[in-house]
């Protein structure tokens, strides 16, 4: 069992959630029960799955939840791209966010590789 709060990837994912809520607060209120809700749930899923996996009994289970977390990160990126395509935001407003997503994914993959070779 890992102390998830000490995991750098979890800390970075929490930062990503906070940044996501800032972005979604700027989206049209008409999307409150559509994209905004979906984007926020997706972002929260990233650190949540890392934490859930860290609390499991085996590295294999942890790997499974890290994989789900990465899937949520790519889902988040897709949804943010959609906000741009729909004209709700501009690409330059999302650039920092995409960099954070990539950083979380890279850290997640590194942790997965570490666990696989343990």
pLDDT, tens digit, 9 for 90 and up, residues 57-93: 889 999 999 999 999 999 999 999 999 999 999 989 9
Closest CA to 46 of 80, 3, 76: 76
Number of domains in the chain: 1
- Work out the angle between the directed axes of helices 35-54 and 59-85 (0-180°, nearest 10): 160
pLDDT in tens, 33-59: 899 999 999 999 999 999 999 999 889
Model confidence, pTM: 0.94
Residue 92 lies in a domain: yes
pLDDT in tens, 11-35: 999 999 999 999 999 999 998 889 9
The C-alpha angle with vertex 17 and arms to 71 and 117, in degrees rounded to 5, equals 45
Q: What is the CATH number of the domain that holds 50?
A: 1.20.1440.60
Residue 2 lies in a domain: no
Residue 42 lies in a domain: yes
Residue 68 lies in a domain: yes
Distance from C-alpha of 43 to C-alpha of 38, rounded to nearest angstrom: 9
What is the extent of the structural domain holding 12?
A: 7-22+32-116
Residue 108 lies in a domain: yes
pLDDT at 1 over 70: no
């Amino acid at each position: 069992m890992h102390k998830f709060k000490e995991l750098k990837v979890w800390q970075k994912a929490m930062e990503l959630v906070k940044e996501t809520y800032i972005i979604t607060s700027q989206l049209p209120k008409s999307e409150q029960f559509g994209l905004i809700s979906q984007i926020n749930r997706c972002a929260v899923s990233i650190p949540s799955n890392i934490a859930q996996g860290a609390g499991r009994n085996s590295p294999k289970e942890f790997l499974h939840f890290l994989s789900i977390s990465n899937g949520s990160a790519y889902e988040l990126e897709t949804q943010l791209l959609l906000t741009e395509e729909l004209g709700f935001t501009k690409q330059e407003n999302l650039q920092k966010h995409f960099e954070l997503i990539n950083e979380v994914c890279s850290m997640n993959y590194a942790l997965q590789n570490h666990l696989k070779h343990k």
